[in-house]
Amino acid sequence: MYMITPAITSLKSLTMKLINQTKTLLLILLILSGATGLHSTVRLHPIFTDHMVVQRNKPLKVWGTGTSGERLEVSFGKFKRSAQVSADSVWQVIFPAQHYNTTPLTIKVKAGQQTLRLEDILIGDVWICSGQSNMEFPMMREMHVKAEKKEAAQPLIRFTNPPPAGRYVYGVAYTDSLNRRMNTRDFYQWEQWHRCDSISFLPLSAVGYYFAKSVVRHTGIPIGIINLAIGGAPIETFISRESMAASPQFAAKVKPGNWLDNEALPEWTRTRGRQNVGSNPAAAGDDLGPNHAYKPGFAFDAGIKSLMPMAVKGFLWYQGESNSLEKPRVDEYPDLFRLMVSSYRTAWNNRMMPFYWVQLSSIDTVSYQSRFWPQFRDDQRRVMDDISHSGMAVCSDIGFRNDVHPTNKKAVGERLARLALTQDYAFRMVPSGPLPARVTYRQGVLTLKLHYARGLKTSEKGDVRGFSLDGKTECRAIIRKDKIVIFTAEKPEYLYYGWKPFSDANLVNGDDLPASTFRVKAP
């Protein structure tokens, strides 16, 4: 017994050690098994999160990535669909179109042991906001934000505001972390959809917020806002490279070579690009040069293109300042804008997709190169004649003399909402300020008839300001009912209104909506 006891003790010890090791191994395997379930290879596109709005009255596509051959089941409300991940690692299901719904729903994706759940999903209208800094301009800097916080709890307004790489970084070389995001996958930092409240709405596009609030107030339909605006961005970055290459007029903008040296692109934006990435020999890029927010086609590939499977209601656009500084860029802008709208509508297979934009405001030439702004604003007005189901919000009356960022975005968002409410939601209201309709001249009297001119008046007491017969010298104008009358001994070639970079023109209609800058040919 004396000789056997140590052996038995040793055997017991070894057995317990093995049992403990086995338990540890099993625990590790269980943890790894659980982790594998929790981190399935099946993923949703990052636009799909809790609290989102999906488009009503259109088939709903839900898509993502996974391991080739993996099977999954997706449910949305009462509907279920099955899919298999394709050879190129993508999957997609399509649910039938549904009417708007303010009762929260759930999207559930089940793949093997893994289940992804998205809660609090509403069905309504999704609007994409895009452009440059005046669309990006956040509620926290808007002039009415203090009062608006009291009304910001808007459960039917949902938004996602993915910050682009390099936001608010100007005049310096990008850091390594920013350079790593200069690719189409990581450029926009896709984030959670948010329910609108007094805290969450602070970084939201102020124009987008006021637009959504007005539409919700009138219709009760949930509104989703996706903000893809980029401060300082030229229009070229939001148009696909393929669309520009296919256009004889704009193919030079995407010819192979470093875009930073391409004189067919706005000089100001190329200067910013050189400051940020021009000195980085390791910068990611392609045959057009280093990647950057202002590179032609880059924001399209990083943002717009990735959302194209998703049904949306329409677009809100506030951009132009970066294309307004050189005469060749100003002259081509209307055609470039038409190309963008046409290409978007083709991509979404919706020739009537609503597209509403903001006319440039006002600013003096003392601190800004705004000498071409009158022409630019008039070109934006004339484009409405060529683009169906479109509209323009005038904001030249709220511009700042020495700041390119007017802080009254409430007026801008609500004016955009008027366009949508009349054209998309069948409300009877005046959609716009006065627009020129017809000019006649007879026996020394020049008469201008205007659209949306009921209740025509000045914005404050006093004479009408803003009219000119030569684009330089102001002339006296009189309001007669819904018309403007000007006495002149000789028939002019053109009639001008608001033809100054910083306009003090004061013509409005009975709804206090301002008249657009214009130049029209006299008969």
For residue 95, what is the domain's CATH number? 2.60.40.10
> Percent helix, strand, coil in the chain (nearest 5)?
30, 25, 45
User: Does one domain contain both 197 and 335?
Assistant: yes
Residue 330 domain flag: yes
pLDDT of residue 413: 98
User: Does one domain contain both 84 and 110?
Assistant: yes
pLDDT tens-place string over residues 489-523: 999 999 999 999 999 999 999 999 999 999 999 98
pLDDT bucket at 213, cuts 50 / 70 / 90: very high
Does the pLDDT at position 18 exceed 70? no
Among residues 423, 451, 485, the one where a domain terminates is 423
Query: Residue 477 is encoded by which pair of tokens?
Result: 């104008």
User: Does one domain contain both 16 and 111?
Assistant: no
Among residues 374, 393, 423, the one where a domain terminates is 423
Query: Residue 312 is encoded by which pair of tokens?
Result: 């949306």
pLDDT tens-place string over residues 418-433: 999 999 999 999 999 9
Does the pLDDT at position 17 exceed 90? no
Residue range 201-214: average pLDDT? 98
Residue range 439-462: average pLDDT? 96
pLDDT bucket at 281, cuts 50 / 70 / 90: confident
User: Does one domain contain both 442 and 462?
Assistant: yes
Residue range 285-299: average pLDDT? 97
Could you give the number of structural domains in the chain? 4
pLDDT of residue 40: 54
For residue 248, what is the DSSP state? T
Beta strands in 96-242 (DSSP E): 101-111, 114-131, 154-160, 194-196, 223-227
Burial 69-78 (b: 16+ CB within 10 A, else e): ebebebbbbe
- Region label for 63, one of left (φ > 0), alpha (ψ between -120 and 50) or beta (otherwise): beta
Residue 428 domain flag: no
CA–CA separation, 442 vs 224, rounded Å?
52
Phi/psi at 18 (nearest 5 deg)? -65, -40
Mean of pLDDT over the chain: 92
Does the pLDDT at position 39 exceed 50? no
pLDDT bucket at 224, cuts 50 / 70 / 90: very high
Containing structural domain, residue 32: 1-39
How do strand 71-76 and strand 53-55 relate by DSSP bridges? unpaired
Does the pLDDT at position 14 exceed 50? no
- Mapping DSSP onto H, E and C, the string for 298-363 reads HHHHHHHHHHCCCCCCEEEEECCHHHCCCHHHHHHHHHHHHHHHHHHHHHCCCCCCCEEEECCCCC
Asked if residue 48 lies in contact with residue 107, where contact means CB atoms within 8 angstroms, the answer is yes
Residue range 356-371: average pLDDT? 96
User: Does one domain contain both 369 and 328?
Assistant: yes
User: Does one domain contain both 210 and 329?
Assistant: yes
Query: Residue 273 is encoded by which pair of tokens?
Result: 């690009």
**Of residues 183, 285, 302, 290, the one with CA closest to residue 240:** 302
Give the lowest-confidence range in 10-24, 100-114, 432-446, 455-469: 10-24
Among residues 395, 423, 451, the one where a domain terminates is 423
pLDDT bucket at 41, cuts 50 / 70 / 90: confident
